[in-house]
């Protein structure tokens, strides 16, 4: 969603800051097989060709008027993340809602994201992001993020301010909102003001300036092949290729490569900052107004001529992997929607937000969170301690840390920087899947809180995995 540098066919515009990331990619023969030109509706998620595997997808086949699957998607609402930058950091003017007027399956195999304007001139729209935050290539392999999308079918003065996007953000942004652009952002598809053009952009490093020229990003654009972006479906694809050295990031429309960024162009430490964490989550939205459409228009948008009600149609979104010799990881357990009992078992992977955490298969069944090191944390919302405080807490942990590497597993409430209410130390337990239950005392806490598990160590290395935790009275 950050503005991107325009190609010669479109005006150059100023950028605005936004949390997102980009990854490396190179051309592969399978691209045409996965991203062929298509203009009809209701295409199925393409099966992966030889050598590729489907990591995750949503075909949006729900009944007409229903919301997208809560197992796959989080619906963002309002005008910012809690504690995040106003107007989503972009200057956009709409309010996001969970109303089926703004966000719904159409019953014909598509998801509709529809901007609307009320009688008072206020705009609403929708924005969703994947529950999963672990999209990255296997070691030595390739990741592909693909969507088949028809941009809002509106052009000219009536399209002023329309800003549809399909993009991804580095997982450490979830719950932090202050670490962009270092965590990375890749914009698979952006468009503004009904122009027949797709923009692909990488955001990284520091802002302003840095290796990605923030707040511009490293971007390119081109017209959609054949039919315009607004009048037909096109397939937008991003690849992160870790099978080559230096690694590459690549952007395609209908199988045609139009943008490439190499690892050497980004450089260190910025490349590792945006690729060394747990992965990315995907986003779909239609914004109205903001720095990018305003910059292209040369004035504020939307205007009185802008027409509401023109939806972006999403046929499918899919994530593919190739090579690397690893298997597809299990899906992340979505967080519960209600109150958590502090005295019941809390599965570690059911977090509501995290920083620096990966989710992996657990030898004891299910999943655990891992790769935990100094500064990492996970958050669990609506944990109810009742009126009687706990006497201690217990966590199921494992460690394969090297000799001399240890750290603290800490409990904090309401903020990852609040003083710990309890902790225990942990070092090597015999392996990263060699589990033991370790107790730690806690100070008095009652009522309902967001609970943070934080991880502190004097060494810059992974020191613990966590399967579950609970409090005891």
Could you list the beta-strand ranges (E) of 97-159: 103-105, 111-113, 116-117, 123-125, 127-130, 141-150
Residue 329 lies in a domain: no
Residue 3 lies in a domain: no
* CATH code, 259: 2.60.120.200
3-state secondary structure 222-245: ECCCCCCCCCCCEEEEEEEECCCC
| 8 Å CB contact between 289 and 115 | no
> Six-digit token pair at 190?
């952006």
Residue 8 lies in a domain: no
Same-domain pairing of 87 and 172: yes
Same-domain pairing of 436 and 306: no
Rounded Cα distance between 352 and 332, Å, is: 11
Residue 330 lies in a domain: no
Same-domain pairing of 449 and 379: yes
Has this prediction a pTM greater than 0.85?
no
* CATH code, 446: 2.60.120.260
Same-domain pairing of 319 and 344: no
Same-domain pairing of 202 and 258: yes
> Six-digit token pair at 62?
């729900």
Same-domain pairing of 133 and 37: yes
Same-domain pairing of 313 and 350: no
Last residue of a domain, which of 266, 288, 323? 323
SS3 85: coil
Domain count, the chain: 2
CA 37 to chain centre: 26
Same-domain pairing of 312 and 356: no
Same-domain pairing of 170 and 237: yes
Same-domain pairing of 68 and 203: yes
Residues of the domain holding 443: 340-472
Last residue of a domain, which of 323, 348, 369? 323
Phi, psi of 417 (to 5 degrees): -110, 5
Q: Tell me the CB-side half-sphere exposure of residue 253, using CA atoms within 13 A.
A: 30
Q: What is the pLDDT along the chain (473 residues), one digit of tens a residue?
A: 753 333 333 333 333 333 222 222 233 333 333 433 333 455 689 888 788 999 999 999 999 999 999 989 999 999 999 999 999 999 999 999 999 999 999 999 999 999 999 999 999 999 999 999 999 999 999 999 999 999 999 999 999 999 999 999 999 999 899 999 999 999 999 999 999 999 999 999 999 999 999 999 999 999 999 999 999 999 999 999 999 999 999 999 999 999 999 999 999 999 999 999 989 999 999 999 999 999 999 999 999 999 999 999 999 999 999 987 544 444 445 555 678 999 999 999 999 989 888 888 888 888 899 989 999 999 999 999 999 999 999 999 999 998 889 999 999 999 999 999 999 999 999 989 999 999 999 998 999 999 999 999 998 889 999 999 999 98
Residue 18 lies in a domain: no
Same-domain pairing of 301 and 371: no
SS3 386: coil
SS3 327: coil
Residue 328 lies in a domain: no
Residue 1 lies in a domain: no
- Length of the chain, in residues: 473
- Residue in this structure with the two tokens 């197992």, named with its chain if needed: 71
Same-domain pairing of 284 and 219: yes
Residue 24 lies in a domain: no
């Amino acid at each position: 969603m950050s503005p991107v540098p325009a190609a010669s066919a479109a005006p150059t515009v100023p950028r605005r800051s936004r949390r997102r990331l980009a990854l490396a990619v190179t051309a592969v023969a399978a691209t045409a097989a996965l991203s062929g030109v298509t203009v009809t509706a209701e295409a199925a998620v393409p099966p992966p060709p030889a050598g590729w595997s489907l990591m995750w997808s949503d075909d949006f086949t729900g009944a007409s008027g229903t919301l997208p699957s809560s197992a796959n998607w989080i619906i963002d609402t309002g005008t910012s993340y809690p504690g995040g930058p106003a107007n989503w950091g972009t200057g956009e003017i709409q309010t996001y809602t969970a109303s089926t007027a703004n966000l719904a399956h159409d019953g014909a195999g598509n998801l509709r994201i529809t901007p609307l304007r009320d009688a008072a001139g206020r705009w609403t729209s929708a924005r969703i992001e994947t529950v999963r935050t672990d999209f990255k290539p296997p070691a030595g392999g390739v990741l592909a993020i693909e969507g088949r999308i028809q941009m809002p079918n509106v052009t000219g003065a009536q399209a002023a301010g329309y800003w549809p996007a399909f993009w991804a953000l580095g997982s450490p942004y979830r719950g932090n909102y202050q670490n962009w652009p270092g965590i990375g952002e890749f914009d698979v598809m952006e468009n503004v003001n009904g122009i027949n053009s797709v923009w692909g952009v990488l955001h990284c490093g520091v802002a302003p300036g840095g290796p990605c020229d923030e707040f511009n990003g490293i971007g390119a654009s081109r017209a959609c092949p054949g039919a315009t972006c607004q009048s037909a479906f096109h397939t937008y694809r991003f690849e992160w290729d870790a099978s080559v050295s230096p690694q590459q990031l690549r952007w395609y429309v209908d199988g045609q490569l139009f943008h490439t960024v190499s690892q050497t162009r980004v450089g260190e430490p910025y490349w590792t900052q945006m690729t060394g964490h747990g992965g990315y989550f995907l986003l779909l939205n239609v914004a109205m107004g903001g720095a990018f459409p305003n910059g292209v228009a040369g004035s504020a948008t939307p205007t009185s001529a802008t027409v509401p009600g023109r939806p972006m149609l999403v046929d499918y979104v899919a994530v593919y992997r190739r090579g690397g010799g690893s298997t597809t990881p299990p899906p992340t357990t979505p967080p519960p929607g209600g109150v958590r009992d502090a005295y019941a078992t809390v599965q570690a992977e059911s977090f509501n937000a995290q920083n620096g955490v990966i989710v992996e298969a657990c030898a004891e069944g299910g999943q655990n969170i891992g790769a935990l090191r100094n500064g990492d944390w996970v958050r669990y919302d609506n944990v109810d301690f009742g009126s009687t405080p706990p006497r201690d807490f217990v966590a199921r942990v494992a460690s394969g840390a090297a000799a001399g590497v240890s750290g603290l597993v800490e409990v904090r409430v309401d903020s990852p920087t609040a003083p710990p209410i309890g902790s225990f130390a942990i070092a090597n337990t015999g392996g990263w899947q060699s589990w033991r239950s370790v107790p730690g005392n806690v100070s008095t806490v009652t009522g309902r809180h967001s609970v943070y598990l934080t991880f502190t160590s004097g060494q810059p290395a992974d020191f613990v995995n966590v399967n579950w935790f609970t409090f005891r009275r």
